[in-house]
Structure 1
Amino acid sequence: MKKISELLDVSAAQAWPVVRGIGDEDLAAPTPCREYDVRALLNHLFLVVANFRALAAREPVDFSRTPDVVTGDWRDRFGDGTARLVKAWDEPGAEDGVAGGMGLPARTVGLMVLGDLTVHAWDLARATGQDFAPDPAVVRELGPGLAAMAPQAREMKVFGEPFPVPPEAGAFEQVLAVTGRDPGWRPPRP
C-alpha cells in the first residue's frame, strides 16, 4: 500500500499541466459536474486542496464558503498549493488516527482528497479539450476507496447516482461512474 503523499504527488503532477492548460476563455465552459463551470470547479478544487492540507495537519477547516481565487497568478498558486498538500500528507503521523474535524480515519480523508484531485483534473481536462489519464497506481487505490465511501457520499450529495458502465469498462471509467460521472462526457457543441 502506497503512502497517500506518494499518490498525491503523482496525481498533483498530472493535474498541474491540466490547470496550466486552461485558458481564460475556458473559465465559463461547462464541466461534467453540472453545478460547476470551469471557474467554479477551479475555485472548489483550490478550496479542497487548502482544506485537506489543513486536515492532514489537524488544523480547523471551513468548507462553508468558496472564495473566487481564480485571479492573478492562479495557475502557479495551484502548483504551490498542491505541493503544500503533498508535504502535509508526507509528515509523520499524517495517515494515523482521525484527521481533523471530519471524524474519519486519516487515510480515508487522504483518499478523499486524492479522489477530488484526480477526478476533478479529469473534469477540467474534459471541459477544456485536454487529455488526461491518471496513473494506474492512483486508480488502483481510488477504485475500492471511492466505492466504499460512495453510499455515504451520495447521501451527502457529493456523488451522483452511479453511471451505468459495461462490466468491461476500464478501471478509471469505473471510478468516474461510481462518482456519478459519464466517462464519455464531452462538452456540448456550440
Structure 2
Amino acid sequence: MTTSLLENVDEARSALYEVVSRLAAADNDKQTPNAKFTVAQLTEHLQNSITLLGGAAGADIEIASEGSAADRLLPQAQTAVDAWQRRGTAGMVTMPIGEFPAEVAVRILTSELLVHAWDYAVSTGQDFAPSEALATSALESVRMIIQPERRDGDFFADEVSVSDDSPNLVKLIAFTGRDPDWSPAS
C-alpha cells in the first residue's frame, strides 16, 4: 500500500500540473465551485496546504506571493511530493494541527491536489480526466478523512447526492460537498 500511496500523490501532482500550467492571469478572478474561493484565493489556500503537508515530511517550502499560479504552486507541489517520496508513509508526523499517521497526511495531500485540480479545471473550462485508479484511491481517502464534524460549511459542505453508478471522480467531488455539475454559470 505504501508504494501505491506515494504513486498516487505523484499522479495527483501531475494532474494539478496539467490544469494549473494552462491558467492565465485573467483566470484569477474567476469563481471556483467553493463559494469562498476565486482562482487566486484557491491558489493561496492550496499553497498553505502544500506547505503544511509537505512540511510534515520535512520539506522546507516557502510560500511565493508573486508569479502565476503555476509559478507559485508547481515547485511547491513537487518539493512536497519529493519529500514524501524520501520519507515514506511509515510512522507518525507532527503538523500544527496535531499528530497524524504519515499515511493520512499523504492521503490528505493527494486529495487536496486532485480535488483542487478539479476546482481549477471547472472554473476555467478545462477538461479534467484523472485516472480511475487515482479517483478511486482519493475517494477512499476522503471517506476516511472527512468526518461529520468537519462538515460545518467552512471546511466541507454536506455531501452532494449522486447516483451510485457515477464515476468515482464524481463521487469524490460530491463527497467533498461540491456539486459535480457546477459550472461558472451556475
For residues 117 and 123 of structure 2, the distance between their equivalents in structure 1, rounded to whole angstroms, comes to: 10
For residues 78 and 148 of structure 1, the distance between their equivalents in structure 2, rounded to whole angstroms, comes to: 26
For residues 182 and 156 of structure 1, the distance between their equivalents in structure 2, rounded to whole angstroms, comes to: 14
The change in CA–CA distance for 1:156 and 1:129 in structure 2 (over 3 A counts) is closer
CA positional deviation for 1:48: 1.2
The change in CA–CA distance for 1:103 and 1:58 in structure 2 (over 3 A counts) is farther
Name the counterpart of 2:6: 5
Please give the TM-score of this superposition, normalised by the length of structure 2.
Answer: 0.88
Residue 176 of structure 2: which of 164, 179, 182 is its match? 179
Residue 140 of structure 2: which of 116, 141, 144 is its match? 144
Structure 2: which 5+ residue stretches go unaligned?
none
Structure 1: which 5+ residue stretches go unaligned?
62-66
CA positional deviation for 1:169: 1.2
The change in CA–CA distance for 1:58 and 1:80 in structure 2 (over 3 A counts) is closer
CA contact (8 A) 2:32 2:120 kept: yes
Matched AA of 1:100: T
Please give the TM-score of this superposition, normalised by the length of structure 1.
Answer: 0.86
1:52-87 per-residue CA deviation (whole Å, 9 max, x = no partner) reads 11012288x9xxxxx772x22552342211111111
Q: Percent identity?
A: 27
Count of aligned positions: 181
The change in CA–CA distance for 1:79 and 1:134 in structure 2 (over 3 A counts) is same
Name the counterpart of 1:116: 112
For the aligned residue pairs, the C-alpha RMSD in angstroms reads 2.2
1:165-184 per-residue CA deviation (whole Å, 9 max, x = no partner) reads 11111111111111001111
